[in-house]
Amino acid sequence: MGCVEIRALSKRFGEVRAVDHVDLATNEGEFLVLLGPSGCGKTTLLRMIAGIEEPTAGELVIDGRVVTHLPPRMRNIAMVFQSYALYPHMTVYKNIAFPLRARGVKKEAVRKKVEWAAGMFKIGRLLDRKPRELSGGERQRVALARAMVREPSVFLLDEPLSNLDALLRTSAREELRQFQRRVGVTTIYVTHDQVEAMGLGDRIVVMNQGKIRQIGTPMEIYQWPADTFVATFVGSPPMNLLDQGDTLLGFRPETFLPADAVEGSEGVVTYPFEVTYLEYLGAERLVYGNVGEKSHARHVVSRLPGSLILPMEAGKTYPFAVASRDLRRFDKKSGLRREGGPS
């Protein structure tokens, strides 16, 4: 139970291809994150899975059943909206009971299920309130409870944490992950926040301009980006890319360190690093500068751990190095990574 298969799914709005020929399959009970910049088509894809957006072409299979043209209520999916979309005229109890009543569940059974769901999200004491009397975090829990109450086979979440303040977001993220592990429902989660994606996802699907650029575990996405888009979209600051003829040489800022701090069994590549600007961020230090010859000068960033005490000032040049195993090569024209994946 709980597998979504997307076959060559497309959605066009006029001339714009919001989702362009996407193929994707979830694993049983998996937490899959759709990550991408705004307008990349991730929300449209999620809405098509939910059935509130009609695909232009392609096929959608949930639990082995083709549901492409079925209305949402016949798909057994639940969705949490970015705005939570709680019904403002109903109490929390009625909000959570709504999906059950829509399927004609008996009153007594509804009460039991609502209490079960409310208990799971610790909102039992809020059942008589209206949504406007709740805080942001409470609303989010009600929305989750409403989605979970009828035990859907797939759980869709559209940026459910984006309306919470930073502190609450971290704890909500942790709770969400633990909760998903506990119930084991296949979950598809849309976000533009790479920290959320890395922290939550079993696998991440990176999208851009309606296309999937890479599918992989957070580790694969970060360490072995499939192309220069993924390399620069994931990671903050993004991966450095050095122009070398028809190749772009990529390395993460934290692997670009003073030459004496770099060890590499397969050798190291050393660059004279002309520092232009420094940022002290407490736990780390960001060093901006240029490497290579003047004509081919490329701007790169180095991320030094705060524990590395090394006097450094703008305007001077220091020997910096990258271990060879941390170097990634991309084709300059296509942007695709050249060599194979992680060994």
Partner 1 sequence: MRGPSVSNPAADSARGGILDREGALAKLMIAPAILYIVAMIGVPFVLAVLYSLSDATTGDPSIKLVGLRNFAAALADPVFRLSLWNTVFFTLASQCIVVLLSRLLATALLKTFRGKWLVRFLIMLPWTAPISLGTIGWLWMLDSIFSPIDWVLRYVGLLGVPGALLGGGTNLYYLGIPGLAISSIILVDVWRILPLATVIQLAGLSSIPKDLLEAAEVDGASPWRRTLMITIPLTLPITSIAFLFGVVFTFTDLVVVYVLTRGGPVHTTQVLSSWTFFKGIEGGDLAQGAAISLFMFPVLAAVAILILRMARRTEVV
In sequence order, the β-bridge partners of residue 156 are 79, 188
Q: How far is the CB of 300 from partner 1 (least distance, A)?
A: 43
Distance between CA atoms of residues 247 and 214, nearest Å: 20
Cβ nearer to partner 1, comparing 52 with 314: 52
Nearer to partner 1 among residue 47 and residue 213 (C-beta) = 47
Would you say 13 or 87 has its CB closer to partner 1?
87
For partner 1, which is the closer residue by CB, 117 or 248?
A: 117
Per-state percent for the chain, helix, strand, coil, to nearest 5: 30, 35, 35
Which run of H or of E encompasses 45? Answer: helix 42-50
For the chain, the distance separating the N- and C-terminal CA atoms, rounded to the nearest angstrom, is 32
Q: Which of helix, strand or coil describes residue 330?
A: strand
Q: Least distance from C-beta 125 to partner 1, angstroms?
A: 23
Contact positions toward partner 1, by CB under 8 A? 47, 50-52, 71-73, 77-79, 81-83, 85, 87-89, 98-99, 102-103, 132, 146, 150, 156
Q: Which residues, 6 or more positions from 241, have their beta carbon under 8 angstroms from its beta carbon?
A: 228, 231, 232, 248, 249, 250, 298, 330
Pick the closer one to partner 1 by CB: 90 or 312: 90
Q: Cβ 331 to partner 1, closest distance in Å?
A: 42
Helix axes of 92-102 and 107-120: crossing angle, nearest 10 degrees: 130
Give dist(CA 312, CA 54) in Å, integer.
57
β-sheet with 247-251: strand ranges across? 240-244, 247-251, 328-331
Q: Which is nearer to partner 1, 4 or 78 (CB)?
A: 78
Contact 208, 217 (CB under 8 A): no
Question: Cα angle at 257 between 255 and 261, to 5 degrees?
Answer: 110
State the minimum distance, in angstroms, from the CB of residue 19 to partner 1. Answer: 17
Residue 271 C-beta: closest distance to partner 1, Å: 51
Residue in 263, 279, 277, 280 with CA at minimum distance from that of residue 321: 263
The Cβ of residue 105 has, within 10 Å, a number of other Cβ atoms equal to 17
Preceding amide of 237 cis, omega within 30: yes
- Shortest Cβ 16–partner 1 spacing (Å): 17
Give me the least distance between CB of 87 and partner 1, in Å please.
6
> Least Å distance between CB 202 and partner 1?
23
